[in-house]
Amino acid sequence: MKSFVDLNLSNAALRQKSLSLGYSEASTLQVATLPPKTNQNAKGDVVESTNVELLISACKRHNSVFTFINPLLCNDFYKGTALLEIAREKEKVFEIPLRFLLRSPNRSKLMFQLRIFLKNCLKRKIPFIFTTRALTEFDLKSPREIIAISQQLGLTYEQAAASLSYGSGEE
């Protein structure tokens, strides 16, 4: 049986609830938002920004310590290939936080954009992982629910399951 991981709970107090939903591991990652409001050398496990150029330059830096990139805050994250190519070159993983999708006022538009983005990731063999980014108990989704949502975004069952287990959806 595949073991599923929720890598980015926004609320560490939800860890036990997440484990009871079927995850084998649940953790909280440090998120660095660009541009940083206080520290110009922002560090974290995840980097995010509303500006795709800032994400690209963060990936290019030699001393970047983050592993995951959340592209969903950028308006045109699904267009163009520059971010995809630098992520592949620097071996970064895209984080797809479902809370952003489920709470979006333009959910259908974001789903359309995510379908295009994930298709491009698969085509270029760029890894991605789905996380809940849960703030409340109602934001938590079981692995089965996330797989179902992922399939609505155009992934096969195998790709969706892989994207929940330190995976990449490459299978």
Query: Is residue 65 in a domain?
Result: yes
The identity of residue 85, as a single letter, is: E
Q: Which amino acid is at 110?
A: L
Query: Each residue of 35-76: pLDDT tens digit?
Result: 654 344 445 678 888 989 988 888 887 566 668 889 999 988
Structural domain contains residue 168: no
Contact 29, 8 (CB under 8 A): yes
Q: What is the pLDDT of residue 8?
A: 63
Domain membership of residue 59 (yes or no) is yes
Residue 171 pLDDT = 40
Q: Is residue 170 included in any domain, yes or no? A: no
pTM of the model: 0.82
pLDDT tens, position by position, 82-138 = 999 999 999 899 999 999 999 999 999 999 999 999 999 999 999 999 988 888 888
The domain tally of the chain equals 1
- Report yes or no on 153 lying in a domain: yes
Q: Which of 70, 116, 62, 119 is nearest to 93 (CA)?
A: 70
Residue 171 lies in a domain: no
Contact assessment for residue 31 and residue 131, using Cβ atoms and an 8 Å cutoff: no
Predicted local distance difference test score (pLDDT) of residue 40:
44
In a domain, 167, yes or no: no
Residues 127-144 have pLDDT tens digits of: 999 988 888 888 899 999
Query: Among 21, 30, 45, 31, which residue's Cα sits nearest to residue 146?
Result: 21
Q: How far apart are CA 129 and CA 160, in angstroms?
A: 9
Q: Range of 61's domain?
A: 4-162
122: CATH:
3.20.20.140
